Amino acid sequence: MGAVDLRPYQEEARRAVEREWDEGRAKTLLVLPTGCGKTIVFAMVAKDVVDGGGRVLVLAHRGELLDQAADKIGKATGLGCSVEKAERTSVGEWFRVTVGSVQTMMRPSRLERFPRDWFDAIIVDEAHHALSASYQAVLDWFDAADVLGVTATPDRGDRRDLGAYFDSIAYEYTLPRAIKEGYLCPIKAQTVPLAIDLAAVRTQSGDYSAGDLGTALDPYLDRIADEMLAAGCMERKTVVFLPLVKTSQKFRAILEAKGFRATEVNGDSDDRAETLAAFDAAGGGAVLCNSMLLTEGWDCPSVDCVVVLRPTKVRSLYCQMVGRGTRLSPETGKTELLLLDFLWHVERHELCRPAHLIAESEDVARAMTERLEQAGCPEDLEEVEREAAKDVVEERERALAEQLSAMRKRKRKLVDPLQFEMSIASEDLTGYVPQFAWEMAPASDAQKEALEKAGICPDEIGCAGKASLLMDKIAKRRAEGLATPKQIRQLEGRGFRRVGEWTMDQASALISRIAANGWRTPASIDPATYEPSREARAARVPTLRLGA
């Protein structure tokens, strides 16, 4: 079978991964939202390695994920796959792609069957598992191989942890972009006015204890079912994620008593395949309850409502749960995903909420959550994010004005980096969080000297990654002929706004006018409303000379 036609972003991702490898960054990440075809992308990357004469190992931690990977690789590329799992082995087979169970591959007796340079590339499905001891045993054995980790998480914290092993992020396709470009459905989030107390829930291994969650959730299950009725779930196909199998089974019975066509599936279900097939064919009013079984390796595009009753601190897990409902299903008339949230009461603000799916910063996520709680009805996440981002920018500008007022006496000739970021409207600078080890190191003396020479006060630059990003931004702006940091400081210090969006020539022309006026702003100019583009247009209007 021939190779499939990739979507534009999938082709971009494929090329980006191979470019990272070619440039010596042997361990790289690919970030794609759930439902955007990550398996197809890494299948084509595997094909390219094989076409070049190499061998590929695809690592996963569950048997069904291995089977799905082998099936999709075959359909997308025509390549057959050998299997390393339990008693099955690839040794002696001629296939150049191997799908391997990490539980099997990690054993020394299994690894020793292979020369250490046997595989040229290793693909880790669900890359957040790559830091575990089992995966590291395999990756360390084949330490000469290029490595691709695939993840759906948008969270900087998760990726910062991954930065301890991976060298770079080759490509990232965001959830908002996927929705905007029509590859995933819009998400409407609704915060149900039901307060659920999680104060007594302990943390185990970095997340809320499943046992404690089950105990905390139990008294609310009947009321949650009523809220699902009120939210219109009887007209939708819903998946519910719960912390324990017994909680999932109890909630199924409650839903069924209230008129839903509810089913439940877990790892011990003998009729799992039949239950999933029946749910896939069902229509409105169908609800499928599970205790974390369906977070990976299960697709049902017609799902148009997700209820997360397994609160989590782990963004990757939250994205996987919500991702069960973001796929398109035009044949069923699906137009959106309804995501039901609740008023979770926690002592520390670590809980993942709908806002964390798309918010670029924790400040924006907090503002979004407040808006959703106040709305009391389904709200489009992207619209809420836009309004919340405006609120945060306004708050930052107020805080900036106070901070600048306190700093003026100290560094009059240099622009504060925060002022520069806000002036040029750079979200990647404002929301920057270091992810890799070199980025977390302190800014070097050479970086500080270069920034100061460019007109940036280096005192507030916390790390080498931020310094590097700032210098790249300044160099790019210089090449594009945009206002310099010194021009921004000079003019914004006189009350002009967003000078970072002006050209260098526009800023220079105005500074020259001010200088010619004895370094006083001309009376005809109001800094608060001044627009250089309007001035430039006026300057281009020819003057009629009488008597010429």
- Find the CATH number of the domain harbouring 281: 3.40.50.300
pTM of the shown model: 0.71
| Percent of the chain residues topping a pLDDT of 70 | 94
Chain CA centroid to CA 14, Å: 18
Residue 375 is assigned to a structural domain of this protein: yes
Residue 1 is assigned to a structural domain of this protein: no
Regarding whether 474 and 326 lie in a shared domain, the answer is no
pLDDT at residue 2, rounded to an integer: 52
pLDDT in tens, 135-185: 999 999 999 999 999 988 655 556 667 888 899 999 999 999 999 999 999
Buried b (16+ CB within 10 A) or exposed e, 14-48: bebbbebbeeebbbbbbbbbbbbbbbbbbbbbbbb
What is the pLDDT of the chain when averaged over all its residues? Answer: 89
Regarding whether 351 and 289 lie in a shared domain, the answer is yes
pLDDT at residue 18, rounded to an integer: 97
Residue 464 lies in domain: 408-540
Q: Side-chain half-sphere of 7: how many Cα atoms within 13 Å?
A: 16
| Percent of the chain residues topping a pLDDT of 90 | 62
Last residue of a domain, one of 327, 358, 388: 388
The lowest-confidence range among 137-141, 288-292, 354-358, 413-417 is 413-417
* Closest residue by Cα to residue 532 from 498, 490, 481: 498
545: confidence class by pLDDT, cuts 50, 70, 90: very low
Regarding whether 69 and 37 lie in a shared domain, the answer is yes
pLDDT in tens, 495-523: 998 898 999 999 999 999 999 999 999 99
Regarding whether 154 and 24 lie in a shared domain, the answer is yes
Span 302-329, mean pLDDT? 93
Residue 188 is assigned to a structural domain of this protein: yes
pLDDT in tens, 56-103: 999 988 777 788 888 999 999 999 999 998 888 888 888 999 999 999
Regarding whether 535 and 434 lie in a shared domain, the answer is yes
Q: Measure the CA–CA gap between 96 and 473, rounded to whole angstroms.
A: 43
pLDDT in tens, 230-281: 999 999 999 999 999 999 999 999 999 999 999 999 989 889 999 999 999 9
pLDDT in tens, 431-449: 888 888 899 999 999 999 8
Using the predicted structure, report yes or no on whether residue 212 has a pLDDT greater than 50.
yes
pLDDT at residue 256, rounded to an integer: 97
Regarding whether 122 and 62 lie in a shared domain, the answer is yes
DSSP label at residue 171? E
pLDDT at residue 129, rounded to an integer: 82
5: confidence class by pLDDT, cuts 50, 70, 90: confident
Regarding whether 109 and 240 lie in a shared domain, the answer is no
Residue 289 is assigned to a structural domain of this protein: yes
Span 394-419, mean pLDDT? 74
Q: Measure the CA–CA gap between 66 and 432, rounded to whole angstroms.
A: 36
pLDDT at residue 219, rounded to an integer: 96
Q: Measure the CA–CA gap between 230 and 66, rounded to whole angstroms.
A: 40
Provide the number of structural domains found in the chain.
3
Residue 348 is assigned to a structural domain of this protein: yes
The residues, ordered by sequence, that sit 6+ positions from 377 with a Cβ below 8 Å of its Cβ are 190
Residue 178 is assigned to a structural domain of this protein: no
Regarding whether 529 and 419 lie in a shared domain, the answer is yes
pLDDT at residue 543, rounded to an integer: 38
Last residue of a domain, one of 124, 147, 173: 173
Using the predicted structure, report yes or no on whether residue 462 has a pLDDT greater than 50.
yes
Regarding whether 457 and 338 lie in a shared domain, the answer is no
Regarding whether 331 and 445 lie in a shared domain, the answer is no
Between 534 and 458, name the one with better pLDDT: 458
The residues, ordered by sequence, that sit 6+ positions from 324 with a Cβ below 8 Å of its Cβ are 34, 239, 294, 295, 298, 299, 300, 303, 306
Regarding whether 475 and 359 lie in a shared domain, the answer is no
SS3 content of the chain, % helix, strand, coil (to 5): 45, 15, 35
Last residue of a domain, one of 173, 199, 214: 173
Residue 165 is assigned to a structural domain of this protein: yes
Regarding whether 424 and 339 lie in a shared domain, the answer is no
C-beta of residue 342 within 8 angstroms of C-beta of residue 216: no
Q: Side-chain half-sphere of 424: how many Cα atoms within 13 Å?
A: 26
pLDDT at residue 90, rounded to an integer: 82
454: confidence class by pLDDT, cuts 50, 70, 90: confident
Q: Measure the CA–CA gap between 118 and 112, rounded to whole angstroms.
A: 11
Residue 2 is assigned to a structural domain of this protein: no
